[in-house]
């Protein structure tokens, strides 16, 4: 059978962190960094995986996840087989410009790319949304990462130049043009992390405790005042408070985008960082310093983005001031690196 080629973007989340498994909204956007993947179905159960930056590996479709870079490939091929898209294994080659462990969905992009390629190879009729749901299953069930649905939906469906306002409860979404006068810039802090390291799972666990206490699956829909006044233990109460307030900040950010009110969008981003730092406790001193200098040098908004505990910040900066701003910021943060910029015009 012939080769199939697909491209899938990385994503940055403008705002709405850890709301996607707590019944809330998120606002991700497709990046220009992305992943190119070629897939050729095989007649046996082997998986040959090649990628720039990693060692080639030969795996079997019956392998359990073993913390190798190729786990998303094997997991996605197993899922593709159970969906009837491929009959056996496959050769998969990847060229990616999405830095791994940086909060830019490199893993979701890889899984969605394999599923999209397998859909083409198998002439399947699954929608992109169905593939996103299948991709989340690969992370949750095969890889043991208890993530939500944001990354998979964003990389499967987002289009360049637009932000995706996604309700993670219903999977309904709307696309809104990114600002034309400002750049959304993604800057790596220089600190790398892995979702499988355990702190993400710990936060998920604390949210589950809060769900049991408040008697709801949707922490994001709780009244923040009710959470603050509750007699619940301090740590899970702070996690719930983050979810309830973050969801409202996403709604404010969507209104701001619609009205082209970039100052309000930036304010929501800045407030989000404070809540991630103080209530969800998912930031690190090096990232707080980067965010604070990004704001000091003139960003309209700046915050940590993604799962936390390392990775990237997302900033919103007036285009005319951008070159000066980024030069100043990188001069005082030599480990930081500009990864990408996206905008609406
Ligand atoms: C990671 C997860 C997502 C989401 C974010 C935090 O990217 O994969 O599901 O929970 O962290 O917002």
**Rounded average pLDDT over 61-82:** 97
- pTM for the predicted model, two decimal places: 0.97
Looking at residue 180, what is its pLDDT?
Answer: 95
For residue 151, indicate whether it is catalytic: yes
Q: Which of 56, 151, 278, 323 is catalytic?
A: 151
**Rounded average pLDDT over 82-100:** 97
Helix (H, G, I), strand (E, B) or coil at 125: coil
Point out the least confidently predicted range of 177-181, 197-201, 250-254: 197-201
Tell me the per-residue pLDDT of 294-330, one tens digit each, with 9 for 90 and over: 999 999 999 999 999 999 999 999 999 999 999 999 9
**How much of the chain, in percent, has pLDDT values that exceed 90?**
95
Going from the C-alpha of 181 to that of each of 61, 177, 256, 314, the distances in angstroms are 48, 12, 14, 16
Tell me the per-residue pLDDT of 253-308, one tens digit each, with 9 for 90 and over: 999 999 999 999 999 999 999 999 999 999 999 999 999 999 999 999 999 999 99
- Quote the ligand 1 centre to 110 CA distance (angstroms): 15
Rounded CA-CA distance 309/311 in Å is: 7
Task: Point out the domain boundary residue: 119, 150, 177.
Answer: 177
Ligand 1: residues whose CB is within 6 Å?
A: 17-18, 20, 147-148, 150-151, 306-307
Mean pLDDT across the chain: 96
Looking at residue 196, what is its pLDDT?
Answer: 55
Looking at residue 198, what is its pLDDT?
Answer: 86
Considering only CA atoms, which of 185, 179, 218 is closest in space to residue 328? 185
- Quote the ligand 1 centre to 141 CA distance (angstroms): 16
Range of the domain at 269: 182-342
Q: Based on the fold, state whether residues 326 and 291 are members of the same structural domain.
A: yes
Tell me the per-residue pLDDT of 211-236, one tens digit each, with 9 for 90 and over: 999 999 999 999 999 999 999 999 99
Looking at residue 229, what is its pLDDT?
Answer: 97
| Residue 101: band (very low, low, confident or very high) from pLDDT cuts 50, 70, 90 | confident
Looking at residue 194, what is its pLDDT?
Answer: 65
Q: Based on the fold, state whether residues 142 and 194 are members of the same structural domain.
A: no
Residue to substitute in 140, 249, 307 for testing ligand 1 pocket (most ligand atoms within 8 angstroms of CB) = 307
Q: Based on the fold, state whether residues 251 and 314 are members of the same structural domain.
A: yes
Q: Based on the fold, state whether residues 140 and 23 are members of the same structural domain.
A: yes
**Overall number of domains in the chain:** 2
Is residue 84 within 8 A of residue 122, CB to CB? The reply is yes
Going from the C-alpha of 73 to that of each of 12, 139, 190, the distances in angstroms are 22, 11, 26
Rounded CA-CA distance 210/233 in Å is: 9
Q: Based on the fold, state whether residues 205 and 315 are members of the same structural domain.
A: yes
Task: Point out the domain boundary residue: 154, 177, 200.
Answer: 177
**Rounded average pLDDT over 31-48:** 98
Task: Point out the domain boundary residue: 177, 205, 224.
Answer: 177
Whether the per-residue pLDDT at 130 is higher than 80: the answer is yes
């Amino acid at each position: 059978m012939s080769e199939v080629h697909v491209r899938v973007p990385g994503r940055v989340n403008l705002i709405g962190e850890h709301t996607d498994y707590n019944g809330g909204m998120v606002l991700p956007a497709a990046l220009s960094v992305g992943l190119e993947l070629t897939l050729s179905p095989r007649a046996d159960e082997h998986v040959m995986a090649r990628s720039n930056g990693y060692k080639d590996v030969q795996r079997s479709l019956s392998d359990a996840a073993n913390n190798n870079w190729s786990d998303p490939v094997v997991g996605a091929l197993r899922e593709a087989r159970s969906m009837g898209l491929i009959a056996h294994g496959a050769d998969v080659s990847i060229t990616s410009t999405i830095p791994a462990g940086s909060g830019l969905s490199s893993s979701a992009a890889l899984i969605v790319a394999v599923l999209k390629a397998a859909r083409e190879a198998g002439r399947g009729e699954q929608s992109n949304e169905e593939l996103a749901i299948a991709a989340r299953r690969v992370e949750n069930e095969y890889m043991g990462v208890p993530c939500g649905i944001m990354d998979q939906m964003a990389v499967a469906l987002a289009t360049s130049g637009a932000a995706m306002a996604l309700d993670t409860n219903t999977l309904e979404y709307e696309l809104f043009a990114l600002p034309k006068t400002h750049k959304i810039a993604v800057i790596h802090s220089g600190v790398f992390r892995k979702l499988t390291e355990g702190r993400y799972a710990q936060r998920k666990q604390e949210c589950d405790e809060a769900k049991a206490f408040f008697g709801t699956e949707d922490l994001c829909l709780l009244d923040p005042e009710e959470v603050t006044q509750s007699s619940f233990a301090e740590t899970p109460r702070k996690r719930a408070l983050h979810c309830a307030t973050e969801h409202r900040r996403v709604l404010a950010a969507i209104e701001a985008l619609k009205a082209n009110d970039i100052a309000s969008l930036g304010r929501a981003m800045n407030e989000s960082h404070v809540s991630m730092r103080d209530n969800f406790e998912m930031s690190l001193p090096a990232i707080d310093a980067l965010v604070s200098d990004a704001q000091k040098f003139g960003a309209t908004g700046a915050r940590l983005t993604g799962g936390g505990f390392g990775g990237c910040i997302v900033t919103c900066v007036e285009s005319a001031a951008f070159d000066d701003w980024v030069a100043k910021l990188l001069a005082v943060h030599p480990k930081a690196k500009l990864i990408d910029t996206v905008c609406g015009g």
